[in-house]
Amino acid sequence: MTSEYATLDENREKLIESAGHVFAEVGFQNATVREICARAGMNVAAVNYYFGEKMGLYTEVLRSSLLAEQTDVMNSSMALASDPRAALQALICDWFERMGAGARRAWSTHILAHEMAHPTPALDLVAEAMGANYLRFRAIVGKLIGRDPDDLCTRLCTHSVVGQILHYAHARPMLSRLWPDLNLQNHERRHMIAEHIVEFSLAGMESIAYKKEKSAEDSSSS
């Protein structure tokens, strides 16, 4: 009996593994059960047997990669909560590391890019899982510019940072043609881009923080 359960678990993991690669490559809509099962070396009926349908499998892939990643990222940023600059740098660098990482760490970035461009019924699950990190990110940015996490300016700054990161995830096929030497598989190049985004973003936030302080001084002196 133990051996039977072990086999069931192994088969589920094989399907999740192969599906993760396929979903990351082509997205949920273009992924086929036939291709997923072929890569797993299993019959096409296996997806229905273990997960009910393709969406059930997709949800399990999200749970094992993207949702788990959100917990890891949140824990790492909380460890640096007292230093917002270091926390911001850690978040950005970690995101770029996931772009070049192998196996499930690489899935999350690519699957998220597909999900944002072409939402599926799992979007609410993804948004719920990302909610805590979104708040953590806004808290970090808010500390850097001296504003509340829910402040409009804080949200705008947060999305400006995320937009820079997602550009490299979403536009990789085009970037490979416009910038052939980019090579995001190279660790040093990824680190360089991450450091640039940190430096660029901090400069903008420092300017916004200065304007807020200057406005407060002008108000108090008038």
Q: What is the pLDDT of residues 177-191, one digit of tens each?
A: 999 999 988 889 989
Check whether residue 11 and residue 110 sit in a common domain. Answer: no
Residue where one domain finishes, among candidates 62, 91, 107: 62
pLDDT at residue 122 greater than cutoff 60: yes
Position of tokens 């940015």? 141
Owning domain of residue 184: 65-221
For residue 2, what pLDDT band results from cuts at 50, 70 and 90? very low
- Predicted local distance difference test score (pLDDT) of residue 75: 62
Instruction: Tell me: do 190 and 97 sit in the same domain.
Output: yes
Rounded distance between C-alpha atoms, residue 56 and residue 48, angstroms: 9
Identify the CATH number of the domain in which residue 70 sits: 1.10.357.10
- Considering the domain architecture, whether residues 78 and 179 belong to the same structural domain is answered as yes
pLDDT above 50 for 14: yes
Same domain? For 9 and 27 the reply is: yes
**95 plus 164 within the same structural domain:** yes
81: its two tokens: 């909560």
| 34's tokens | 């036939």
Where residue 17 sits, what CATH number does that domain have? 1.10.10.60
| Helix (H), strand (E) at residue 151 | none
Domain match, 39 and 122 both: no
Q: Both 175 and 202 in a single domain?
A: yes
* Alpha carbon distance 68, 75 (integer Å): 11
DSSP classification of residue 185: T
